[in-house]
Amino acid sequence: MTDIQSSPSEGGTSESGTSPKRRGGRIALLGAGATALAIFNMSTDTEAQSTAVLILEYGALALGLFALIGGLIMTLLQR
């Protein structure tokens, strides 16, 4: 018996095993978690950070927001 797999564009599974519609939601969830952790880390600092650490923290915050917005856009466009 042969298995017929639909392509990802037809609503099937992609090579990673997740449907394309769920991928945007997972990216948005990951971005929201990263953003929440970055904000929590910045708000609970008790001493002044060095410039390099601040750059890394703001970079992580920016990437988290970028992933959150990108995941939401992907989810909305695939509906």
Enclosing domain of residue 48:
19-77
- CA distance linking residue 67 with residue 29, whole number of Å: 9
Comparing 29 with 9, which gets the higher pLDDT?
29
Structural domain includes residue 32 = yes
Structural domain includes residue 48 = yes
Q: Is the pLDDT of residue 7 over 60?
A: no
Structural domain includes residue 50 = yes
Structural domain includes residue 10 = no
Q: Is the pLDDT of residue 79 over 90?
A: no
Structural domain includes residue 28 = yes
Q: CB within 8 A of 42, min separation 6: which ones?
A: 57, 61
Domain count of the chain?
Answer: 1
Entry pTM: 0.67
